[in-house]
Structure 1
C-alpha cells in the first residue's frame, strides 16, 4: 500500500462511521433477542443503547421512586406505566416498534381432537377445557411478566364481557377459577416459561402440559426451533386478545434528537424485516409485507382497565383468590457463617414477604391467602419443617403472617452447613403436598456443604423420587460465600433457576416469587 493511501485510509473509515451516542434504557427482558439487530441499528443511527433489564412492575417502581432515571423506557407494553399518576407528564414521546399478541399454543394432536384447528375458539371454550382437566398449560405470573398480565386481563375482559370495566369480582367467578385450574406451570418471565416447557418434555412424567400461553413470537419460535416433540397450534381467541406493541418511550428531553434517530432506524424497512424474520414479531411499518408464518390480520383487541386502582384490584384478586394456591418450601441456611449482617439480611427478606414490605413489588411478592408456607432451617442438622397455612379471610391471613414473622425472628445462626440433607427433607415435604397446589422449593445458603449427604448422594435420592416429586423445581439463591457451581447444579437438576442475592438478597427473594 502506498504511504499516502495508508495515511488516508483511517480518515476515510472515520468519515464512514457515524459518531456514537449512548442512551440508557430501562427495558424488559424480552428485548434480549434483539441484541444483534440493535448492534446494527447503532451503526446505522449512531445511537448505542445501554439496557438494564427488569420486569414491568419492578421497572415501574424504580421510575416512581427515582431509583432509575434512564433516557428511555422500553417494555413490551406501556399500559401499566400510563396508569401511574406519578409518571404523568414524564413519558415525553412514544413510538411502537413491533407487535406480538399474547395467544394460546395447544399441542397439535389436542387441537385436532378438540376441533380447534380452524381457530374459531373463544376464551370461554378455553376456560371450559381447563376446568374439565383436559387443558393443562403454562402461563407467566401476571405480577411479574407482561405476557401473564396481558393473558389475565384478556381472559377476564372476554369472559366477563365488560371490556375495560372489569373489577376484582370478575376475576373470582367460577369460570375464571376453572380457567386457572388448568395452570400447571408459572414463571417470572415469558422466556423462562418457554424454556421450562421445552425442558419438561424430556423429564420423566413431567410432559404433562398440552398448552402454553405466551407471545405469538415465542410460540412461533418454539415451533421453528425443532425442540418440541409436538408442534403447537396457535389459537387466536375470537372474542379478543391483547397485543404487545413494544413502545420506545423518551424520558429525557435533552436526548430527543438521538431518540428520533433511533426510532427512524428501528422503523426502517430493512430493520423491520429483520425483526420479523429473526424474532417473529410483526412489523409496524406498513410498507413491510407480512410473512406468511403469521395469520392474516389480528383479532379484536381487548382493552386494559382504565385506572391503576382497578388493575391492582384485578391482580390482587387473582393472587389471593383465583390462582392455584401455592405450596412454597423455603430451605434456609442458619449455619454459623450466617451470623451478623447475613442473618439480618435473611430476616429482612422473609419479613418483607410476611407483610413488612409495602412497596409496589413487595405488595405482589408477599405470601398470599390460601398459600402453604414451610420453613426448613438447617445448619449441621436439619430442623423439623415449620408449616404455616395462610387463611383465606383477613383475620386468618393476619394471624398466619404474624406467626411467620415470629418464626423468622427466632432464626439463630450456628453450626455447619448440611445443604443436601436439607434438600432431601424439602423433597420429602413436597411429596406430602395437598392436591391441587403449585409446589416449589427455595434454597438460600451462604456457603458450601460440609455436613450430611454429598451432591452425588442427593442426585441419586432425587432421581429415585416419584415423578410428581421430581416435577418440583428448586430455585437457588447465591449469597455470601455460596458456590455458584453447586447452586447452578441443583437448579439445573431440578428444572429451577439460580438467582444472585449477593448484592440484594431481598430483591432475589422477591424475584423468585414470580416463579411460585
Structure 2
C-alpha cells in the first residue's frame, strides 16, 4: 500500500479502545534529567501540558516534532528518523508495521490512550433522520448520504488517519462478513460506498483543518453552506462541543456496527540509546498511571488505556472494534478504489506564476513539482498525491496577464496518456514578463464557474514568487469572490508562497475563500503541492 496513513489494532474493545489492567500503584520513578526526542502526529500538540508535568515528575523532557502521519511514515521507512529521534508517537503503528523498512525500526510500544472515529451531526439533522435515540449504523449513514439526505466533512483517507479509519469502517460494515476486508470485498461494496461518498462536501488533509472548515461553515465565517455532519475522532467532537465555538452542540453518533480507533502507542525506536530506553520506560509508566490517565480523559476527551479511570457521561461504552485489513493488497486496493472510483472527483485550477523572476532554478523547481503530480514522484508521499482518475486539471500560467487555460481530464480507463499530455504542457512553461496575480485568479474563477459538471470538489492552487504589479488589486479580486452566484459551490484558494511572495495578501486570499496558506519559501515546492492534494 502506497498512500494510507495509519490504522488500528483490530480487536474487540471496551469503551472504544482496548483497555489494559491498570499497573499497581507504585511511586513515579524519576531519574537523571534526559531529553526524549519524539517524532509525533500533529494532533498530539494538545498533550504538551501533560508532558510538561511529566518532565517535573520523571526528569524526562520531551521535544516533539509534529508531522503528518504519511510523511512521518516515510521519514521512518527511509531511515531519515534514525539518529534524529528516540521514539515515535502516532495515532497507530499499524501502517508502519506493513512497511518492512519501518517495522524493523519499531521497538517497545506503550499504548497511552484511544479515540474511535465517529460521526457528529447537527441536532436538526439527527432529529430529521430519527437519530435521536436507538442504534445508528454505518450502513444507515451510507444509505441516507446516498439519498442526498446527509452531507458531511471527512479527511482524505490517503492523507489522514481519521479519513482512512472511516473508509475502513464503512467498507467493513457494508461488507458485513465480520472478517477483515480483502481485495475482493472492495468490489462487492463499491456501489454503496460510492453512494456514501456522494454526501461528502468538505475534504482535507488534516483533522484540525477539517474541524475549522466545518465550524466556519456552521458559523458563517467560511464561504459555502453548512454541512450536516463531521466524521472525525470522538475526542475532537467532544472537544468541539465543549469549546463554545459552535452555535449548537453536535449529536455524537457511535455507529453500532463498529468503529476503528486510534490507540496512540508511544514507540521506542530500535536504534535508541540506553538512556533513551530508560527515559521511554519512565515516561510511559507516568502517562499510564491512573491519575494521569484521568487527566488525559478530562483534558483531551480521549479514552484511557487502562482500567480504573472513571469516564464522564459524554464517554459511554463504544461499539466493538471492526477488523482491520490484514494484507497490504487489501489496503492498497481500498485506497486505489477510493481515489479513482469511489470519491467525488475533483476539478483544480493551477494558477502558476511564470513571470521573469521565475527564470532559472525557480521555473525548474516548479516543473519538477508539477511533473511529480503526473506520476513521476514515486516516493511513498509522491504516490499519494498523483493526479487521480476522473480528475480535471486546469493549468493557467500567468505573467503580465493570464495565459489561455489548458484543460486535462485523467482518463479512468487508461490514465497514462492524459498524464503524459499534462507533463508535456508543464515542460513547455517558460518565464518572462510581469506579475498579474489577481487578474489570473479572477480568470480561474471564471473557468470554474463556467463548468457544466458541478458534482466535483473544486479548488484553486496559486503559486507565486512575488507581489502583483499588473492588473486589478487584491480588493478587486475579493469583490469578484463575494459576487459569485449564491448557489455556487465555494472554491478555496490555496496560495503557495515562493520567493518574495506577499504573505499578508496571500493570507487574505486564503481566508476570504476558505483556503489555506502554504509556505514553500524554503524551496520545497514538491512538498507543498503534495500536501495540498489532501484538500482537493
Aligned length: 497
2:181 matches 1:165: yes
Match of 2:421 among 380, 386, 403: 403
Mark the CA change 1:31 to 1:119 in structure 2 (over 3 Å): closer, same or farther.
farther
Q: How does 1:21-420 map to 2 (within 5 A)?
A: 21-69=34-82, 70-162=85-177, 163-167=179-183, 170=186, 173-201=190-218, 202-203=220-221, 206-251=224-269, 252-254=271-273, 255-295=276-316, 297-394=317-414, 397-420=415-438
Distance 1:168 1:498 in 2: 40
TM-superposed CA distance for 1:89, in Å, is: 3.4
Deviations 1:343-370 (A, max 9, x none): 0110000000001011111111000000
CA RMSD of aligned residues (A): 1.6
Mark the CA change 1:111 to 1:135 in structure 2 (over 3 Å): closer, same or farther.
same
Mark the CA change 1:18 to 1:449 in structure 2 (over 3 Å): closer, same or farther.
farther
Match of 1:454 among 473, 498, 511: 473
Distance 1:104 1:119 in 2: 15
Q: Verify the 8 A CA contact 1:204 1:467 in the aligned structure 2.
A: no
Distance 1:208 1:274 in 2: 34
Q: Verify the 8 A CA contact 1:275 1:281 in the aligned structure 2.
A: yes
Distance 1:96 1:467 in 2: 48
Mark the CA change 1:299 to 1:462 in structure 2 (over 3 Å): closer, same or farther.
same
Q: Verify the 8 A CA contact 1:79 1:304 in the aligned structure 2.
A: no
Q: Verify the 8 A CA contact 1:168 1:314 in the aligned structure 2.
A: no
Q: Verify the 8 A CA contact 1:331 1:444 in the aligned structure 2.
A: yes
Distance 2:464 2:449 in 1: 23
TM-superposed CA distance for 1:509, in Å, is: 0.4
Distance 2:293 2:356 in 1: 56
Structure 2 spans left out of the alignment, 5+ residues: 1-29
TM-score (norm 1): 0.93
Could you tell me which residue of structure 2 aligns to residue 465 of structure 1?
484
Could you tell me which residue of structure 2 aligns to residue 13 of structure 1?
none
Could you tell me which residue of structure 1 aligns to residue 15 of structure 2?
none
TM-superposed CA distance for 1:459, in Å, is: 1.3
Deviant stretches of 4+, over 6 Å: none
2:431 matches 1:423: no
Distance 1:203 1:330 in 2: 25
Q: Which range moved further: 147-156 or 264-273?
A: 264-273
2:435 matches 1:435: no
TM-superposed CA distance for 1:267, in Å, is: 1.4
Distance 2:469 2:184 in 1: 49
TM-superposed CA distance for 1:383, in Å, is: 0.7
TM-superposed CA distance for 1:435, in Å, is: 1.9
TM-superposed CA distance for 1:401, in Å, is: 0.2
Q: Secondary structure at the match of 1:382?
A: coil
Q: Which range moved further: 384-393 or 198-207?
A: 198-207
Distance 1:143 1:168 in 2: 20
Distance 1:18 1:207 in 2: 55
Q: Which range moved further: 352-361 or 218-227?
A: 218-227
TM-superposed CA distance for 1:109, in Å, is: 1.2
Q: Secondary structure at the match of 1:303?
A: coil
Could you tell me which residue of structure 1 aligns to residue 502 of structure 2?
483
Q: Verify the 8 A CA contact 1:474 1:491 in the aligned structure 2.
A: yes
Q: Which structure has more RCO (C-alpha within 8 Å, separation ≥ 6)? A: 2
Distance 1:474 1:431 in 2: 14
Distance 1:18 1:493 in 2: 51
Deviations 1:107-155 (A, max 9, x none): 1111122111224011111101000111000000111110011001111
Distance 2:190 2:167 in 1: 13
Q: Verify the 8 A CA contact 2:96 2:103 in the aligned structure 1.
A: no
Distance 2:487 2:287 in 1: 46
Deviations 1:200-228 (A, max 9, x none): 12058723300110000111111112221
Q: Secondary structure at the match of 2:378?
A: coil
Q: Secondary structure at the match of 2:106?
A: coil
TM-score (norm 2): 0.90
